[in-house]
Chain A
Amino acid sequence: MDVNFEALLPELLLTLVACGVMTIDLFLPKEKRGLAFPLAFIGVLATLAAVLNLYGQNLTTLDGMFVVDRFAVIFKIIFCVAALLVFAVSQAYLNDDKDVPHGEYYTMMLFSLLGMLTIASSRDLIAIFVALEMISLPAFILAGIRKYDIRSNEAALKFFLFGVLSTALMLFGMSLFYGLTGATNLADISAGLAGRTDIDEVALLAILFLIVGFGFKVSAFPFQWWVPDTYEGAPIPVAAFLSVASKTAGFVGLFQVMFLGLGELADMWRPMFAVIGIVTMTFGNLVAIQQKQIVRLLAYSSIAQAGYMLVPLGVASATDGALNTQIIFSVVAYLLVYAFMETGAFAAATAFGRKTGKYLIEDYAGLFGRSPALAVAMAAFLFSLAGIPPFAGWWAKFVIFKTLIEGDGLVLAVIMALNTVIAMFFYLAVVKKMFVDKSEDTAAIAMPRSLAGAIGIAAIVITVGGFLPNLFGQLAENANFF
């Protein structure tokens, strides 16, 4: 078998970095263990450079299992950038929490990132499955890495049990498709399914199982129960990592399987996604209103955001390639914006929490008077998540609405429109706390440079992107397989 090492370069490089960080950390004296951060950061930067080098190329290797195209490269860029932001946030967090082992922490993140890079290129059920597991297993450990904290243990255990169950079901679904078509390569599956009319029941069952697996990853209802507890118990940067990078990876896998492999069966899975998307966003938004704790609020909001990104699949078509292109474009555009606004919101929550050790929304009272820059940035992220101009979130929602209307999903669009209004309510509640309410404590929140950098970059990107959304648009247009 010919292996094209050029196509695999980023993954190979990242594997070396991950192993390197792990090994070097073993030999470092205790007081120097902070070195893991710069090593991992530079390693990911190098990987990003290798990824950028592949932009515009079309390479296929490992018998068609592994493909480098614009879709893959753009998602690899998103993953690397998200990882860099999360690393910057982690650095501040780990300096405060002395019990978290630095080496293991970054190593696990790097391995999880490796899985993400791989899934973006995977065009084969087995490769996708392996990549997904590669993402999840380190994430289980990361969620429980504060092992002296009972809530962190709970977070990891819940995450693990749900994760294992859903992957098992997904694997079963994959095996059914193998049974139906005799292939694991997505293109072969698509060819094998074409014109078959005798497979309805089995295919339906198999699709359902697949949806369970991906639904868990992207936190779609009813597979979202682990999300709030895991986000709350895990270190916050890990929660950011899960809600941004890991969720994006779930969507990548979902696109590949649904559009490249099961495009023929779109009539079968389209209504499922319409229902799941609607229920997910409505559930997330309604429950978010009642939250008193910032991380739980962000958790439910991220569930709702997943709903926004799932509904476009509810208008997919088995025959209309242009519409499917538009669907992928809109969700990719949303994911691009989401990566910055969600990471930014988690970073701001980290910045606030590390000074006070508190995550209650109530404690945010008067933040504008204490640390105006932090309050303004947090408000920008929340407004962006809500989809209010001038922040880029408006455009992300706009393209989703546009896709829904184009696909004759007016009802879906109206329900989503109502959801944006509901969501505004709880985002505004946090903004109100920060800007309107007063607090007794007037001390400013001190911020280490890495954290301030991450927040600043995310805030600038979503503000500039709000005025010039084509910066995201061009990338998203390119990230398409059709």
Chain B
Amino acid sequence: MNLVEEWGITLAVFLPLLGAIVIVLTPKGMESIQKVLALAATGAALLVGLALTFAFEHGEPGMQFEKSLSWIPSIDSNYHVGIDGISLPLLVLSVLVCFLCIIYACWHIPEPGNAKAFLALILLLETGMNGSFIALDLVLFFVFWELVLVPMYFLIGIWGGENRQYASIKFFLYTLFGSVFMLLGFLALYFQSDPHTFDMLLLQESGVLDIPAGLASLIFGGLALGFAVKVPMWPFHTWLPDAHTQAPTIGSVLLAAVLLKMGTYGFMRIAIPILPGPAMQFAPVIAVLAAIAIVYGALCCLAQTNLKRMIAFSSVGHMGFVMLGISTMTPEGFNAAVFGMVAHGVVTGMLFFLAGSIKERYHTYEMPELAGMGLKIPKMAGLLAFCAIASLGLPGLAGFWGEVMALLASYQPLEGLDPTIFRGAMVVGAIGTVLTAGYFLWMLQRVNMGKISEKWKKVKLADVETLEYAAWLPLLALILVLGLYPRLIMDTTTSSVTALTETITGRSSGDDAHVAQVTDH
């Protein structure tokens, strides 16, 4: 157990990287060996993730398994890592989804093949994603954050759909645009803190950061831009439908299940606790944007005829609920956000898997051509119905809790925030849930029901295969378990999100005192 506590989170990050290096060194064409290696690396990371879950003191608010090593002394940056109740669920989600993606890749490597490069890139991507969730140093976080760009660019660019070139470049430039401003924000934090530090935990302590209010808002704006592009918040979402639709199945799954969470996690880990004053100031704006995203996402979904694009747009709405929860700054809201992140990761990840497998059989995502799937491949259609209903937020399934708790939390945001705006956002969000139910049910009607088109009448199609089940069963089980027993996540998160709210109330009142002092002078 000692190994896990000392080095567990580090292993979870670097085992996949090690796997990637080994895979790159194997000769081309040894596909089965490369697959085994990838399974071993991601499986080992998953085991480490599970071991961490058991070793973790659930209910403790602070950081656990902390580790701090000298990394780049010339710029005061350390390899400082650790996890708390907010990061643990995301880390576990990430290692789980990556493992399942590799299983799925064993079933099918998309055109134009080249298993070696494909698997190595997924593993490199996993290193970046896992690292983002454990980093407690801003520079380290930045490196992991940017590390996901290159592999995801290649995954979309090489193995993507017809419009992959446009989508991959758009994804890259958009994220880069956000992240350079995030970086400038990090540097500004460094020079505004006393003593100068990149350490997230130190920066959260009161007294370390002493910034004039105007500059603080500017810095928050820079950080928020970087995170908002990644989430993506409306109106920075336009890269998402293209990237998700064009990416290969596994790329879409990873994008939806894990990558987007890096943005919302950034808000909760960095922007809000370090700059609580401006966070309170911006919270109503975030709430309004989140409400717009919920309705806008749903309306866009209603307009889609392409199944995958519809699922992609549904992410905009779901992440809107997550952001709405965050914007309330209350423990309930944050809990809703973390739960929403995990639930969205599991449900939407699963939906993208299904969309990919459907495309493998029908060679199209166009819903009119898929009509009558319930007759043709009933098991697949059943799974699609299950996941769609989970995604629209049926009680008893995973999608429900995140949404309903976010709505409840926005009835009573943290003291100091104007409840009127948040209640308005709540009403809009509630309308959004109705629209969400609408487009998912309509999708089911168009795809699962109806008459089989002439083209497919005579052709035999394979229903769900064993390897697909292997990749999907854990997710399907989680959808049910999380829906029935939400405490599985809440028990871990509650203490940490409560501490987060306490940081906000403690620090922002302290900042107010500072502002008052300045006006006194």
A residues near B (Cβ < 8 Å) are 329, 333, 368, 372, 383, 388-390, 394-395, 398-399, 401-402, 405-406, 410, 413-414, 417-418, 420-421, 424-425, 428, 431-432, 435-436, 468-470, 473-474, 476-477
Contacts and interface: CB of A to CB of B under 8 A. Distances in A.
Given A394-B143, A432-B169, A469-B72, A406 B191 contact: yes
B147 A420 contact: no
Given A390-B147, A420-B180, A424-B172, A398 B74 contact: no
A383 B150 contact: yes
Contacts of A399: 75
Contacts of A368: 158
B49 interface: no
A371 to B, nearest CB: 12
Contact of A401 (B144, B149, B153, B187): B187
A414 B184 contact: yes
B158 A436 contact: yes
Nearest to B154: A435
Given A401-B187, A405-B191, A425 B173 contact: yes
Interface string B123-141: 0000000000000000100
B157 interface: yes
B165 interface: yes
Nearest to B145: A389
B71 A470 contact: yes
Contact of B146 (A389, A418, A468): A389
B154 A473 contact: no
Contact of A417 (B71, B169, B172, B184): B184
Given A394-B146, A436-B157, A405 B74 contact: no
B181 interface: yes
Nearest to A330: B75
A435 B75 contact: no
Nearest to A406: B191
Interface string B20-32: 0000000010000
B177 A421 contact: yes
A426 to B, nearest CB: 11
B190 interface: yes
A333 B144 CA distance: 21
A420 B176 contact: yes
Contacts of B169: 425, 428, 432
A395 B168 CA distance: 24
Interface in B430-444: none
A448 B146 CA distance: 34
A209 B187 CA distance: 35
8 contacts: A388-B150, A389-B144, A405-B184, A417-B181, A417-B183, A420-B176, A428-B172, A436-B164
A401 B150 contact: no
A470 B74 CA distance: 7
A134 to B, nearest CB: 32
B214 interface: no
Given A394-B143, A410-B184, A428-B169, 8 more contacts: A388-B149, A389-B142, A390-B143, A399-B75, A417-B181, A425-B173, A432-B168, A435-B154
B188 interface: yes
Contacts of B173: 421, 424-425, 428
Contacts of A389: 142-144, 146-147
A309 B169 CA distance: 27
Contacts of A473: 72-75
Interface in B146-171: 146-147, 149-150, 153-154, 157-158, 164-165, 168-169
A241 to B, nearest CB: 29
Interface in B283-304: none
B72 A421 contact: no
Nearest to A391: B150
Given A424-B176, A428-B172, A402 B150 contact: no
A435 B165 CA distance: 10
A436 B165 contact: yes
A378 to B, nearest CB: 13
Interface in B63-89: 71-75
Contacts of B191: 405-406
A418 B149 CA distance: 17
A402 B144 CA distance: 19
B81 to A, nearest CB: 15
A413 B147 CA distance: 22
Contacts of B190: 402, 405
Contacts of B187: 401-402, 405, 413
A195 B144 CA distance: 49
The 8 A-B pairs with the shortest beta carbon distances in the complex, nearest first, are: A473-B74, A417-B180, A405-B187, A389-B146, A389-B143, A470-B72, A436-B157, A421-B177
Contact of B75 (A402, A418, A425): A402
Given A394-B146, A435-B154, A435-B157, A476 B74 contact: yes
Contacts of B177: 421
Interface in B21-66: 28
Nearest to A399: B75
Contacts of B157: 432, 435-436
Interface in B364-423: none
Nearest to A401: B187
Contacts of B153: 428, 431
A63 B68 CA distance: 49
A473 B147 CA distance: 20
B158 A401 contact: no
B230 to A, nearest CB: 15
> Which residue of B74, B143, B146 has the most chain A CB atoms within 10 A of its CB atom?
B74
Q: Which of A399, A406, A421, A468 has the most CB of B within 10 A?
A: A421
A436 B156 CA distance: 10
Contacts of B147: 389-390
Contacts of B144: 389
Contacts of A388: 146, 149-150, 176
A389 B149 CA distance: 9
A389 B150 CA distance: 8
A333 B153 CA distance: 28
Nearest to A467: B143
A369 to B, nearest CB: 8
A240 B172 CA distance: 28
A469 B142 CA distance: 14
A404 to B, nearest CB: 8
Contacts of A469: 72
Contacts of B150: 383, 388, 390
Contacts of B149: 388
